[in-house]
Amino acid sequence: MNAVPQIRTSGPDWAAIKQRQQATWASGDYAVIGTTLQIVGESLAEAADVRAGERVLDIAAGNGNTTLAAARRFAEVTSTDYVPTLLDKGAQRARAEGLDVHFQVADAEALPFDDGSFDVALSTFGAMFTPDHQATAREMLRVVRDGGRVGLANWTPDGFIGRLFKVIGAHVPPPAGVKSPALWGTEPHIVELFGPQAAQIRCERRHFHFRYRSPAHWLQVFRTFYGPTHKAFAALDEAGAKALEREIAALLESMNTAGATSLVVPSEYLEVVVTKRSGAKGR
């Protein structure tokens, strides 16, 4: 009797995907974009009720918007990211303001901290881009004490950035088997990730307004400095790049609320505050 051959199935290559993502966020200069988003970090620090003396972890911190917001509230802040150059930019900003912040390279899916090390864990448009959603949520919950808070700002699927990534994905498909980052901007996914370990989950839809001189100005800035668009254009030939540029310009025009004088594009995001229940250990 002949043996039946075994068919092996495997999931995504997380290490390769993460390496690709790290290269994406290290390309361009995200700090140019990041500094314009400072108001979101301030809003999240308020929503999470960050208080003086609390131990706060900023995860996938980029160039430190939420890090600085928490430090301005006299919290003891540790700022982490897996792109060292972005942490360097955050450290420069902290020094300029005379803020005492600890910066440490760290992977959001495998945080190098003990259980319950922090009162608050925050992430602004950062944790949502990790490939393994469950691992990231589990780590955020693990490092926060019982009764502590997890605060997130995540772009929604139907907001401007969510729609932008759909346009980009039609030209440069994302890695197979990876869930959309924009799922983090939906209440059901947040409940799925955090619900069993949460005493309370609060979600509120907010808007950040991108303000630029024109659609062409926005395209120039994001094509040069924002990793995902920078890499997408670099991956296309001339015809493909022109097609992508036309579609992004059309999206900008359709969402511009400023008329012909400038560019103001509202981009919806989900502000989330999770309170960890007593005894929750993550999954």
Q: Round the CA-based radius of gyration of the chain to a whole number and report it.
A: 20
Residue 82: what are its φ and ψ, rounded to 5°? -100, 10
Decide if pLDDT at 36 tops 90.
Answer: yes
Q: Note the pLDDT tens digit of each residue in 152-189.
A: 999 999 999 999 999 999 999 887 778 999 999 999 99
- Report pTM: 0.91
Total domains in the fold of the chain:
1
Q: Domain for residue 135, yes or no?
A: yes
Q: Domain for residue 238, yes or no?
A: no
Closest CA to 12 of 162, 110, 133: 133
Euclidean distance between CA atoms 201 and 149, whole angstroms = 10
Q: Domain for residue 38, yes or no?
A: yes
- Which amino acid is residue 204, in one-letter code? E
Half-sphere exposure of 259 (CA within 13 A, CB side): 1
Q: What is the DSSP letter of 78?
A: E
Spatial neighbors of 219 by CB under 8 A, at least 6 apart, are 245, 248, 249, 252
Q: Note the pLDDT tens digit of each residue in 94-153.
A: 999 999 999 999 999 999 999 999 999 999 999 999 999 999 999 999 999 999 999 999
* Confidence label for 5 from pLDDT (cuts 50, 70 and 90): very low
Share of the chain above pLDDT 70, in %: 94
Residue 98: what are its φ and ψ, rounded to 5°? 70, 35
Name the token pair of 242: 């022109």
Q: Domain for residue 166, yes or no?
A: yes
Distances (CA, A) of 196 to 16, 234, 274, 283: 30, 42, 11, 9
Q: Note the pLDDT tens digit of each residue in 59-107.
A: 999 999 999 999 999 999 999 999 999 999 999 999 999 999 999 999 9
Distances (CA, A) of 122 to 48, 169, 172, 254: 8, 27, 30, 32
Q: Domain for residue 216, yes or no?
A: no
* Confidence label for 2 from pLDDT (cuts 50, 70 and 90): very low
Q: Domain for residue 217, yes or no?
A: no
User: 133 and 194 in contact (C-beta within 8 Å)?
Assistant: no
The dihedral built from the CA positions of residue 75, 151, 13 and 171, taken in this order, carries a sign that is: negative
Three-class secondary structure of residue 179 per DSSP: coil
Q: Domain for residue 84, yes or no?
A: yes
At which residue do the structure tokens 């949460």 appear?
Answer: 198
Structural domain including 48 reads 17-209+267-276
Q: Note the pLDDT tens digit of each residue in 231-267.
A: 999 999 999 999 999 999 999 999 999 999 999 999 9
The CATH number of the domain where 130 resides is what? Answer: 3.40.50.150
- Report the pLDDT averaged over residues 53-57: 98
Q: Domain for residue 142, yes or no?
A: yes
